Structure 1
Amino acid sequence: MICGSRHCFDLSKDGYINLIPHAVRSKYNKDLFTSRRETSRHGLFDPLIDAIRNKIEDTAPSRSRELRILDAGCGEGSHLAAILSALQKPDAPDILGVGVDIAKEGIRLAAKSGVPAIWCAADLAGSPFADRQFDVILNILSPANYQEFQRLLRHDGLVIKVIPGSRYLQEIRALFQGEAANQPSPAKGLADGRTIDRPSPAGDSTTPRPVPATGRTAELFGRNFASVDVQHVEYNMLVAGEALEHLLRMTPLSWGVPEEAIQQAAGQGPLRVTFDYEILCGRLNE
């Protein structure tokens, strides 16, 4: 790839572009990103992905042209991959997905996934993209740079930021704090005495509904963007076996927790886990 100043950037052997001019240290390592990818594969983020897809379909610019989506802080790319797949429709205009993260380990995994997107190791504080390039900017459970978002977003574009609600992974937090976590009923977690090794949503567990945004993050978002819409998405899933172990390992809640405690928590049986998000959508102030 060649920038406006004629600098050339080659794809790495793994298929991503490195646009970070200096070494970066991050606690987000390959193991964490691998577990997040596997957590996504088990379907634990599916209701969130569905809500984001609906937001894009309902409020994004007209699909008469190519839709350009930037995932700022994409990690290993599983969220962007799922959203791109959900938005694809026969005979619809093309979609260009671009995933950016400062953690190279995440970008490496994203590039190796085979998902047709552009994966970049880059710093949001100085992103390499030209002005007004994206119709949608996603910022999912990741730090934001609103000044850059305002520069990169097209005039009729949409910013979608996802922040954790107060009950997000509350059972895991309690588990690692030594408190009693919620336990599922045996009837829903066991079959013939065996653990079902997959997530199982509760019958009425997905309840998207508008609620007032709270907290400093939401207030800051509202000061930077107009026409802000807030949607609260909360659901719970019964998680066990491999899916539970990956969920435990993908969250910073497990940082500093002894390996023995993580293995013990993963092996204790099905756990009903709460996923609680606020989705903030906004446009440029004009």
Structure 2
Amino acid sequence: MVHNAKLTVLAGLISRHEHLFRCPICSGPLKMDGLRSMICGSRHCFDLSKDGYVNLIPHAVRSKYNKDLFTSRRETSRHGLFDPLIDAIRDKIEVMVPSRSGELRILDAGCGEGSHLTAILSALQRPDAPDILGIGVDIAKEGIRLAAKSGAPAIWCAADLAGSPFAGRQFDVILNILSPANYQEFQRLLRHDGLVIKVIPGSRYLQEIRALFHGKTANRPSTEGGRTIDWPTPANGHPIDRPSSPAGRTAELFGQKFACVDIQHVAYDMLVAGEALEHLLRMTPLSWGVPEAAIRKAAGQGPLRVTFDYDVLCGRMNE
């Protein structure tokens, strides 16, 4: 049975890495109990899903992100629209994470349907690379369920960062890509020489879609031909301060929580059409509240040159 095989693989993977987990209720160590559950000394029990993920959320939660949005984000990734961003993140990990003989552990906090983590793990796989463990966590079960069904070689966890189910100082890299952060937890989970990589949208991110649906004037693209632009790191090691914008305030807060060792501006544009365009339109919250007819009309109007604009912030623990 496919589902039984998935469960067996997941249970084996978790068993080999039990030391990474803690109970989200009492913070005690979690252990595998057969092939179906994880359990702590206080008998708090968390089930493994037949779809191939572990549910570590002890209470009911609601998420505004649904299966259709996650499906569209997965398809958007499949069409390569995030590839330059993935390449930039891979390069940061290869250059900035200290080499070690043991396993490289990467946590994607707010992984959604897992397409970013899956692509990054694949990009890092080389004959001379260390063993890599990827763990994706998200509070939205629909996203985690899709991630697990993809068959990607990672541990997928439905969990709340506010009650994180992981032991401290266990991760070499924490990814936080276009997702809310919990800096206190990141500081607890990161190894002393580890790296946090946070991606935030720039001012031109999907500006053409914003103009299409909300009548905002789109700024001119900041790049031509899909170039990637590097911003030099300021001498004081802190991120470029742009407090007038939400992205600037986020970068400023990041610099307060971590020793910011690098900031890169990744911007490119792509001509998007057909199925890829429809999935891109449905993936973004910019289409929330837009009538279905308007989305279909926009998707059917032909190719749209779309700007992708990100700030990639890399930080280490403040000593």
Q: Which residue of 2 aligns with 1:82?
A: 119
- Quick check: 1:175–1:181 contact (8 Å CA) kept in 2? no
Moved over 3 A (4+): 5-10, 178-183
1:96 to 105, 111, 133: 133
- Quick check: 1:100–1:122 contact (8 Å CA) kept in 2? yes
CA distance in 1, matches of 2:200, 2:307: 14
Q: Which residue of 2 aligns with 1:63?
A: 100
Give the 5 Å matches for 1:185-224.
204-210=225-231, 212-214=240-242, 215-224=248-257
Q: Which residue of 2 aligns with 1:264?
A: 297
- Quick check: 1:182–1:271 contact (8 Å CA) kept in 2? no
Q: Tell me, which stretches of 5 or more residues in structure 2 are unaligned?
A: 1-13, 23-28, 30-39, 233-239, 243-247
Q: Which residue of 2 aligns with 1:24?
A: 61
Q: What's the offset of the Cα at 1:205?
A: 1.8
1:44 to 71, 76, 81: 81
Relative distance call for 1:179 and 1:142 in structure 2 (3 A) is closer
Relative distance call for 1:213 and 1:46 in structure 2 (3 A) is farther
Q: Which residue of 1 aligns with 2:7?
A: none
Give the 5 Å matches for 1:168-247.
168-178=205-215, 204-210=225-231, 212-214=240-242, 215-247=248-280
2:172 to 103, 115, 135: 135
Between stretches 5-14 and 134-143, larger displacement belongs to 5-14
What TM-score does the superposition give when structure 2 sets the normalisation length?
A: 0.81
CA distance in 1, matches of 2:136, 2:261: 24
Between stretches 33-42 and 88-97, larger displacement belongs to 88-97
- Quick check: 1:182–1:272 contact (8 Å CA) kept in 2? no
Q: What's the offset of the Cα at 1:63?
A: 3.5
Between stretches 22-31 and 171-180, larger displacement belongs to 171-180
CA distance in 2, matches of 1:274, 1:227: 26
CA distance in 1, matches of 2:188, 2:225: 40
SS in 2 for 1:257: coil
SS in 1 for 2:301: coil
SS in 2 for 1:54: helix
Q: What's the offset of the Cα at 1:35?
A: 0.1
Number of aligned positions between the proteins: 268
Q: What's the offset of the Cα at 1:153?
A: 0.2
CA offset digits 1:165-209 (Å, max 9, x no partner):
0000000000001467799xxxxxxxxxxxxxxxxxx96322221
Relative distance call for 1:175 and 1:35 in structure 2 (3 A) is same
SS in 2 for 1:9: strand
SS in 1 for 2:46: coil
Paired letter, 1:231 = Q
Identity of aligned residues (%): 83
CA distance in 2, matches of 1:143, 1:180: 27
Q: Which residue of 2 aligns with 1:199?
A: none
Higher relative contact order, chain-length normalized (CA < 8 Å, sep 6+): 1
Paired letter, 1:207 = T
Paired letter, 1:86 = A
Aligned-pair RMSD on alpha carbons? 1.8
What TM-score does the superposition give when structure 1 sets the normalisation length?
A: 0.90
SS in 2 for 1:62: coil
